[in-house]
Every structure is written in C-alpha cells, then in structure tokens.
Amino acid sequence: MKRILTALLFIILCAASAQAAQWSPKADEYWIKVNKEQLRLTLYKGHETVKSWPVSVGRGRGKTKKSRLDLITPTGTYTIYRVVHDAEKLVFDPAWFNEEGEPSAGVYGTKLISFHNSWQIAIHGTNNPGSVGRWATHGCIRLRNPDIEDLVAYVRPKMKVVIVESNQNLPYSKETI
C-alpha cells in the first residue's frame, strides 16, 4: 500500500511539474519558431507573424539530440539568455566535432543568439550564405547575416525559441532544458 501511495504521489507531482512548465505566448510577447521541415525561422508577437526568414538546420535527422556529434537540431522550447554582437570574432574548431581542419574565425557570421541547451547550439549568421535553406549544420540554426542582423533587433534575454519538426497546431510547449 505504501508503494502504491508513493507511486501515486510521484505521478501527481510529475503532472503538476509539467503543468507549471507549460508556456504560452502573451499577446505582446515576441518569440521565435523554427520549423525544421520548412527550413524557416519565424518571429512572432503573440500569435501574429512579424517576419520570417530561411534557415539551415542540423544535417542529422530526428527530434532528439543525444550528443553534439549527432548533427541534429533538437525540437523543444528554449529560453534565450544573450546575443553576441561580435560573433565574427568567435572561433569554430572542427576538432570539437571530430572533423579535420583548422580553427577559423568568422564562421558564425556577425551575430549569435544563445539559448539554454545542453549542446551549445545557437542561432547565428554565416560566412557561407549559400548554405542557408539546407540541412547543413552541426545542429545550430543558421541565417544569412542581413537576416540575423534584422532578427536581433527584436531579441531579448528570456525570449522563447520553439523548434518544431513540422507545422504543428500548437507552436509552443513545455520548456526543454
């Protein structure tokens, strides 16, 4: 009987925790949705579309990212914590992905938007604009530099990023860490 009560309490606490983690945009709240199937990033205010741009996403397929080496852009709801305005100074090191090549600056374009996740993926510009609109990244979301410049004008810490596999009725969900 004690085990049943403990299990029941655990289920109730899990359900309450999931409810508390639900997020839904307020009417005046800006947020970002990335649709992997459409290769589109859309900026919303409430439920209204503000702007939309083509993107590249991870060349790995699937919804769940297990390691930085699987090349998947994970689905879920994330929270932005900063914008890096001089991303061209950041250095990309191919060794981090067990790839050949030398470290190089400028790969992340002019701006980078960091959001909380376990794999250090981000939304950023590129030094290779021809790669946008393809499944081409290690998991990051890549925009052309003029597009990321336009987007960051709206971005603030604590703003939500929702990444979906394809069009879904609910563009928001529980927080993913």
Average pLDDT for the chain: 86
Band (96; pLDDT cuts 50, 70, 90)? confident
* Residue scoring higher pLDDT (175 or 42): 42
Neighbours of 55 (CB within 10 A): 28
* Residue scoring higher pLDDT (12 or 136): 136
* Residue scoring higher pLDDT (174 or 110): 110
Contact 85, 165 (CB under 8 A): no
Band (6; pLDDT cuts 50, 70, 90)? very low
Residue 15 pLDDT greater than 50, yes or no: no
Band (159; pLDDT cuts 50, 70, 90)? very high
Contacts of 49 (CB under 8 A, 6+ apart): 42, 43
Q: Hey, is 136 helix, strand or coil?
A: strand
Band (12; pLDDT cuts 50, 70, 90)? very low
